[in-house]
Each structure stands twice: as C-alpha cells, then as structure tokens.
Structure 1
Amino acid sequence: MAPWNLNNIRITRRNGVFLANGEPLMVYHFSSLVKTGTNTWKTNTAKFFVSVKGDVLALYKQYIQQIEGYGYENRIVQTLNFKAGSLRRLVQKVSGKLFNEFVEV
C-alpha cells in the first residue's frame, strides 16, 4: 500500500486497526514524507490527486508520532534560500499546493 494506491484502495480504521478494503493493512509506504517544521510534515499524496484526511490522516499521524517517539530527528528542510523572502514564500506556496499535502501533528 502506498500513496499512489489510495485512489483504488480505501483505508479505514476499526477498533484502532487500520484496514485496506476491509482487510488488515500490513504495510504502508510513507513515500517522500519529510519534516518541514516543528509540527509540520510534507507528503507527496497530492501528486496522486489524493488528500490526507479522515482515516488516512490518522494513519499518517500515528506513524509520525511513533517515529518521533523513537527519537527520529529529521532536519527541517530548507526549500529555497533566496534573500527575496517574498519570492521564496510564493514558490513554496505554489509548489506546496501543486505537489504537497501537509500534515500537522
């Protein structure tokens, strides 16, 4: 299971167990999940026309909480380092809307 399958497979949660089309979810590939801020993570799900919400959001949040609980330390990504802050913000805003979905924990 991966972001590119989310249009074809329904993720649900029953009694704390994540399911894929009603069967126990065994593996999920959190492709390109990157920490971008203190409490913000970037996914690549929008690239596959999928939004992180509902039980999929719960799956991402659980995973993020678990890896942070194990002491995962990801350096916050610095996307652009231009002096022109307005250009940097514009590029981040546009690229974020086109290619990224952000999850806050």
Structure 2
Amino acid sequence: MLRIDGTFVARKVCGFGVYDDLPGSDRGNWGIGHGLWSADEHGADTGGVWFFGKASSNELDEGGNKDSPVLWQNVGDPDRSVFCELHKSAVGPSPRYSR
C-alpha cells in the first residue's frame, strides 16, 4: 500500500522478499524514481518508484494506465521475460507473475 505521506507497507508481495521473485513484507518510505528496466534497452522510459524499506530497498517500474496502473520489475534473466507485477486493487496490491 502506497500512502500519500510517502510511506508504504508491503505484505507478502513479490519484489520485497530475500530475492526479487520471492514474496516478502516490508515497510518504509517511497519516492519517484527513474525506473530500472524501462530506462534502458528493455522498453520505453516510463519512470518508476523507489522503496526504501526497513529490510531492503528496491525500485519498481511504472506501467499500465490511469485506470489500471501497475508497478513491475523483471525477475531473473531478462531474456526469460518473467515479471513481478503489482496491480492496484480496492484492498491493496495484488501480486502477479507474468510471462
């Protein structure tokens, strides 16, 4: 959950585990970033969000649209095209993996 005051809480979602592809939980601050994968040869530069948690830090790229925003990151080998995706929902983000 991203809060307007610049804090976040992540509960059992990809991108916050010991490894990026494992679910994990964390809390801390968030801010606007450049986007890790979209800013280089992997796609259009869409920007991203930095997460500075108690356990670790991470950056997820922005995607989707205003009606269906998504935060995402590549998981593992970029040639495999496996992504961790966090989608907005009424209750909170719903993590999904896509290929």
Question: Larger strand proportion, structure 1 or 2?
Answer: 2
* Rg larger for: 1
Provide TM-score, normalisation by structure 1: 0.20
Provide TM-score, normalisation by structure 2: 0.20
Question: Larger helix proportion, structure 1 or 2?
Answer: 1
Higher relative contact order (CA 8 A, sep 6+): 1
